[in-house]
């Protein structure tokens, strides 16, 4: 086929479809060779494939998983990176200093996020109770401290200050540790200072209970001012404020033993000691609570016969035991650590029973 005189050869025109079988390019309808080419005409008749790629000779889909040996040479294969000599089934060694998740069941603790599942969260997910009671050893320490309070109250006011100050210090430290805030030296020191201020106010005012309420009010304002000056996040400041106020209030309220009558302190402290020991017995919880209350009432009757309270000591002992069991329950919450058991688990039953000892002692005297 010869070229026309007035038209030069136009090989591979961009707007003409290419025929893979060697046929001459044909003009599409309306295109022609008159020098004008519609740039959108070829796109109207061009098929655009999406999805799988088809081989044009035999119209079979090219599969990367099972290539045809006859046509595999047409598909270039990218080189694979060299594989590690470690097999996929072989477990990788943990990084130095990291905990083994298979050994502990939990991942390592993180700073940027709470990716570690706590014991309490796992217990709730499995339908178990997240409560661990302090046990026999903390109960024995509580009983020992209660007996010291009872004996010191029988001796005199200033003798009572020695076990009372120990109780207040352990109460402040145990509450912060129970809330997961350790070390919190400033908060513990502030709560303990409030307890000492309340004791001094009680001695100056002739053991008036208004000294306890006034000290609590002043210490709440002091804790609020200190937290407002903190540069921590708002949530952390609020959490620290509540923990500081609660620890200070509990330590100050424990000073109720100093405001109560000596006979009421003796009966109430002995009743708490007996109740906590009975609660530590290996019995079901309902039966243990009933046995604890009955034992406290019996101890109240026994100590009431020694003091001037008489049989009304049973009511005082039972009331003190109820408050002590509430404190014992609080110290058992949310999988506490061993340090919590030997601080909050020891002090909270006695600190919680102080208001009942003062009120019932005044009412039954």
- Spatial neighbors of 224 by CB under 8 A, at least 6 apart, are 241
Backbone phi, then psi, for 259, in 5-degree steps? -85, -20
Decide if 211 contacts 198 (C-beta within 8 A).
yes
Q: What string of pLDDT tens digits covers the 365 residues of the chain?
A: 444 444 444 444 445 555 454 455 554 444 444 444 555 555 555 555 454 444 444 445 444 455 554 544 444 454 555 554 544 454 455 444 444 444 444 444 433 344 455 556 676 777 777 778 888 999 999 999 999 999 999 998 899 999 999 999 999 988 888 877 655 778 889 999 999 999 999 999 888 888 999 999 999 999 888 888 777 777 778 888 888 899 999 999 999 999 999 999 999 999 999 999 999 998 898 999 999 999 999 999 999 888 888 888 999 999 999 999 999 999 887 666 777 888 888 999 999 999 999 999 988 87
Pick from 349, 348, 250, 364: nearest CA to 300: 364
Pick from 302, 325, 322, 323: nearest CA to 312: 302
Backbone phi, then psi, for 326, in 5-degree steps? -65, -45
State if pTM tops 0.85: no
């Amino acid at each position: 086929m010869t070229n026309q005189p007035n038209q030069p050869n136009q090989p591979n025109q961009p707007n003409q479809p290419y025929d893979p079988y060697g046929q001459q390019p044909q003009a599409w309808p309306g295109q022609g060779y008159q020098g004008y080419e519609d740039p959108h005409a070829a796109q109207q008749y061009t098929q655009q494939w999406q999805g799988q790629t088809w081989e044009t000779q035999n119209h079979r889909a090219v599969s990367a998983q099972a290539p045809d040996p006859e046509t595999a040479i047409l598909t270039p294969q990218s080189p694979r990176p060299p594989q590690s000599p470690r097999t996929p089934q072989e477990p990788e060694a943990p990084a130095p200093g990291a905990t083994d998740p298979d050994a502990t069941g939990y991942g390592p603790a993180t700073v940027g996020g709470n990716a570690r599942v706590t014991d309490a969260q796992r217990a709730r997910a499995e339908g178990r109770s997240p409560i661990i009671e302090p046990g026999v050893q903390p109960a024995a320490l509580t009983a020992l401290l209660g007996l010291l309070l009872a004996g010191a109250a029988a001796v005199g006011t200033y003798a009572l200050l020695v076990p009372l100050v120990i109780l207040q210090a352990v109460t402040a430290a145990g509450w912060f540790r129970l809330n997961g805030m350790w070390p919190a030296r400033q908060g513990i020191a502030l709560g303990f200072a409030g307890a000492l201020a309340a004791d001094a106010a009680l001695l100056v005012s002739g053991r008036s209970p208004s000294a306890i309420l006034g000290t609590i009010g002043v210490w709440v304002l002091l804790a609020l001012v200190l937290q407002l000056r903190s540069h921590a996040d708002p949530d952390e400041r609020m959490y620290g404020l509540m923990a500081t106020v609660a620890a200070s209030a509990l330590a100050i309220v424990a000073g109720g033993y100093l405001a109560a009558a000596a006979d009421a302190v003796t009966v109430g402290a002995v009743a708490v000691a007996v109740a906590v020991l009975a609660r530590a017995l290996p019995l079901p919880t309902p039966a243990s609570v009933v046995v604890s209350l009955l034992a406290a009432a019996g101890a109240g009757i026994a100590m009431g016969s020694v003091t001037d309270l008489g049989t009304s000591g049973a009511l005082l002992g039972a009331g003190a035991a109820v408050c002590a069991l509430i404190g014992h329950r609080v110290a058992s919450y949310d999988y506490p650590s061993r340090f919590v058991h030997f601080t909050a688990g020891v002090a909270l039953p006695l600190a919680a029973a102080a208001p009942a000892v003062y009120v019932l002692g005044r009412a039954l005297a």
